[in-house]
Structure formats: C-alpha cells, structure tokens
Structure 1
Amino acid sequence: MSTPGIQSALNQMQVLAGQAGGAPDKGARVSATVGEGGFADTLYGALQRINHLQQVSGDQAKAFQAGAPGVSLHDVMMDGQKASVAFELGVQVRNRLVTAYKDIMNMQV
C-alpha cells in the first residue's frame, strides 16, 4: 500500500473515531507521513529492506552464474534464504494489516 493510501486509511479511521464520540484533539493526531517517524515510515523502511535483500540475492545469484571470483555458493544460498524469509514476513504482516483493517471496517458503531 502506498503512502497516500495509508494516509487515506488513517484519515478514514480518524473520521470514524470522531463519529464514535472519541474525537482526538488536534495535538494528539497520529502522523502517518513518511519522514516523521510514524507507522508509515516504519512500514516503508521495512519494505525497502525487503527489496534490498531481494536485489542483493539476485545480484549474488547472477554473479555466481557468471563465475565471478569471490562469490561462493554458500553466500548465494544464504542471501537467497534471507530474502525469502524477509519476503514471507512481509506477506504475513500485510495479511495481518488487511485483516485488522477489515475487522475495523466491519465494526458496528
């Protein structure tokens, strides 16, 4: 989900919270903009790290296939597994976020 999408979802949740009677004051609003240390920034950073691990893994595999010196099969396999585990973690986090969003949207107010 892109940063504007996350911001939009956050705004919708804040509007729903205001309608439910628990309107936060302006100083207590949660920030979801990139660069302010909010949730979106953390999520964006995690996705960047997953992307970096996948790129490193692909580069290592290509270098090994090309016969580049100093690239061992052990390193290629380890980088591939790191990227795979990171990607699976990202998928699970996404699934949990989608489930939580659906649960919140299905709540009766």
Structure 2
Amino acid sequence: MSNSVDTQSLMLQMRSLAAEAASQSQSVQKVEKGAQSAENFSDLLSQSVNAVATEQNKSSAMKTAFEKGEDVDLTEVMVQAQKASLSFQAMTQVRNKLVEAYKDIKNMPI
C-alpha cells in the first residue's frame, strides 16, 4: 500500500512539474514573440520614415526640374508636393501619438 501512495504522490509531483515547465516555455515563447514584434515595429517605423523621405526627395527634385524649365507638368509638381506634405503630416501625428502613449505609460502607477 505504501508503494501505491508513493507512486501517486510521485505522479502528482511529475504532473505539477510538467505543468510548471509548460507554463515557463509558454512565457519564453511570448517573450520571443514580443522581441520579434518589437523588431517588426522598428522596421515598420524605419520604412515609414524612409517612405516620407523618398516622397520629399521626389517633390524637391520635381520642383527643381520645373524651376529649371525642364519638361515637367506643374500639376504633377503640385500633386507630388501635396503627397510629400501629407505624408510628413501623417508621420508627425504618429510621432505625437507615440510620445503621448510613452508619457501615459511613464506616468502609470506601479
């Protein structure tokens, strides 16, 4: 009889250890996924900034070409200038929201 009790307690211990190990592996996976999403977010942010810079460079090049008298349509120049302006304003708003979210998190009570 004492043998069966020891076996049962041993089985309970093994199950609890298995459950603990499973929860730890899940938390490690969550941390790894969080790191990947952080990398993806930084990549996304970097790509967005580069896209805005590209739009502004296109606008500047078209303005310069128009001023030099090259064969560039004024409406295309104005549309490109508006695209650059709009993309910059959108990026500025995203930055403002990120700063606001950071301040909210920073001011949270622990």
Deviations 1:36-71, CA, capped at 9 Å, x for gaps: xx11111111111100000000000000001112x1
Separation in structure 2 between the aligned mates of residue 67 and residue 81 of structure 1, nearest angstrom:
21
Separation in structure 2 between the aligned mates of residue 103 and residue 52 of structure 1, nearest angstrom:
32
Runs of 4+ off more than 6 Å = none
Name the structure 2 match of 1:55: 57
CA RMSD of aligned residues (A): 1.3
Name the structure 2 match of 1:108: 109
Name the structure 2 match of 1:44: 46
Correspondence list, 1:57-72, <5 A: 57-69=59-71, 71-72=72-73
Q: Give the secondary-structure state (helix, strand or coil) at the position aligned to 1:99.
A: helix
Higher RCO (CA-CA < 8 Å; seq separation 6+): 2
Cα offset, 1:25, TM superposition: 2.4
Separation in structure 2 between the aligned mates of residue 25 and residue 48 of structure 1, nearest angstrom:
34
Structure 1 length normalisation: TM-score? 0.70
Structure 2 length normalisation: TM-score? 0.70
Q: Give the secondary-structure state (helix, strand or coil) at the position aligned to 2:70.
A: coil
Gaps of 5+ in 1: 1-23
Q: Give the secondary-structure state (helix, strand or coil) at the position aligned to 1:64.
A: helix
The sequence identity of aligned pairs, in percent, is: 38
**Larger-Rg structure:** 2
Correspondence list, 1:90-105, <5 A: 90-105=91-106
Paired residues, number = 81
Separation in structure 2 between the aligned mates of residue 55 and residue 88 of structure 1, nearest angstrom:
16
Separation in structure 2 between the aligned mates of residue 86 and residue 54 of structure 1, nearest angstrom:
9
More helix by share: 2
Name the structure 2 match of 1:25: 27
Q: Look up the equivalent residue of 1:43 and give its one-letter code.
A: L
Deviations 1:79-106, CA, capped at 9 Å, x for gaps: 0000000000000000000000000010
